[in-house]
Structure 1
């Protein structure tokens, strides 16, 4: 099998995936979606993926999609949509990525599925957003302002009632794109604080870790320390159940689910459909890349073969 690893950068993650594919008898090739194109004169499917000639890959793993203009991102997602429509198993496919990359859609789907998640508001009106911040601040609540499409903890700010003072909403230009995406802040239960990352593969929680940080942002990219978290005991079973429910709600093949502990139980903060796992691998014995490739081949690709035979 020839598998396309769709990524805008190569490095540790792509090396791990290429090695896992080789160990399963597959050939992997890294392809940047920005370099793919539509060409209806090229082949019956109308797609051109560098390195695949007139053929399509047997499967595709989405490892990264570069940012860009609205038109550029739409076209890159269009390639993923087209691959799926042409019968190529895409892991995760464009529909799933669209649901998870848009934090507002993630929050709505989690809420509708009954998955515990903090109160969340998304709006374009600066006046309405500022009014919300004042109302929450008056009730003693702090809010986290997040870029709608941000990742790795970049661009997060606390507004509302913060450390005994009111912090107003800042200008919504730059990373926020004139959109206020606000989520109620959940204060840490311990010092230093921590959250949990659970990796779900093929519908089942595969591994978890605690991300410990002196700062209220717990992403590894922002300096958090990774510690192992068992799924069989302690808070593990609850974390696994909630992470699996969140992944189902967004219909993802695999996902990195972020959860915060509260006195009432854990709550899902975000669901990542193009999740990094280097920090998690450092505290996990089993190979995550192997598990991802095995799930792709045994579940996703096997399902395609069964459909073709039928």
Structure 2
């Protein structure tokens, strides 16, 4: 791989992850620099591309690695994703690209695509009707089940509410939807083993490369950010296959896939799939510090190798510009 390559690491914060990535790129003789999407702009006077990426002058990076997208208003986030779309339209490989990130950030679309592709996942409901959501809650409670209400956009186990029959069998009312952006996203709660745990499987370039168990944490929430302990986990065929299928369903180059043990009747697509692990979420901008602590694989190096040797090796497609030139 030529040492003239220049890669943009799209991130709103620098630290452990970006340091590991830059080190891995340097080991391959590639220059990588961090760029905040909030500092990029679409500028049709900025010839020849109409896209200004800080640190790259009037040229574009050879590829972009998306490490983080800062939250903001709907307009701000739309523009930041628009910059990633624009890079792709300009022939720049984006890892993961905006289309795939949009699918994984929106939990309702993740659930839809997992179900559509036959990937085992808990039964899920999403809509804007509080009355419908309350009926779902009542129906599930009558069957002796609980549901988890989640923000449609969110990560690290923040904002989750477990709902169902409480003390004395009384059913607590549905929380106001205004606290959840006026959207009710409900997922059937799967009662696991004690102490509770889930799996995080990392998929890179269509291969499951590492797995861990996240044990404990804040009650029934087992995210590393919520205090869960990370333990090595055997990457079984069932875990690997399910995680790969989930990543493929969303069109991601790499992903952190969260799974839990399935039991009869938990899966949204029938009991035939319920014996397999169930996919809870698919993270298209996955952190890996916890996983790195329990695996010997150099995860940053594996990500960089996949970007350079598979994604970028396919070549940048020539793009016709207003100037009549192709590419740069």
TM class by smaller structure: over 0.9
Offset at residue 207 of structure 1 (A):
0.3
Q: Which among 23, 31, 50 is matched to residue 54 of structure 2?
A: 50
The CA distance in 2 between the partners of 1:201 and 1:162, in whole Å, is 42
Are residues 1:76 and 2:80 paired?
A: yes
Match of 2:204 in 1: 201
User: Greater RCO between the two (CA within 8 Å, min separation 6)?
Assistant: 2
2 CA distance for matches of 1:66 and 1:33?
8
Match of 1:255 in 2: 255
1:60·1:89 contact (CA, 8 Å) conserved in 2?
Answer: yes
Alignment partners' CA distance in 1, 2:113 and 2:98: 16
Aligned partner of 1:167 in structure 2 is 172
Structure 2 unmatched runs, 5+: 264-274, 319-328
Map of 2:153 onto structure 1: 149
Q: Decide which of 274, 278, 282 is 1:267's aligned counterpart.
A: 278
SS in 2 for 1:210: strand
Q: Which residue of 1 aligns with 2:301?
A: 290
Q: Greater strand percent: which structure?
A: 1
1:93-114 CA deviation, whole Å, 9 max, x = no partner? 0000001000000000000000
Residue 11 (structure 1) aligned with residue 15 (structure 2): yes
Which shows bigger deviation, 129-138 or 149-158? 129-138
TM-score scaled by length of structure 1: 0.95
Q: Which runs of 5+ in 1 are unaligned?
A: none
Residue 162 of structure 2 corresponds to 158
Q: Aligned-residue CA RMSD in angstroms?
A: 1.2
* 1:295-306 paired onto structure 2 within 5 Å: 295-304=306-315
Deviation at 1:255, TM superposition (A): 0.4
SS of alignment partner, residue 130 of structure 1: helix
Contact conserved, 1:228 with 1:284, CA < 8 A, in 2? yes
Give the Cα separation in 1 of the matches to 2:245 and 2:68: 24
Q: Hey, what's the Cα distance between the residues in 1 that align with 2:239 and 2:170?
A: 33
Query: TM-score under structure 2 normalisation?
Result: 0.89
Q: 1:136·1:161 contact (CA, 8 Å) conserved in 2?
A: no
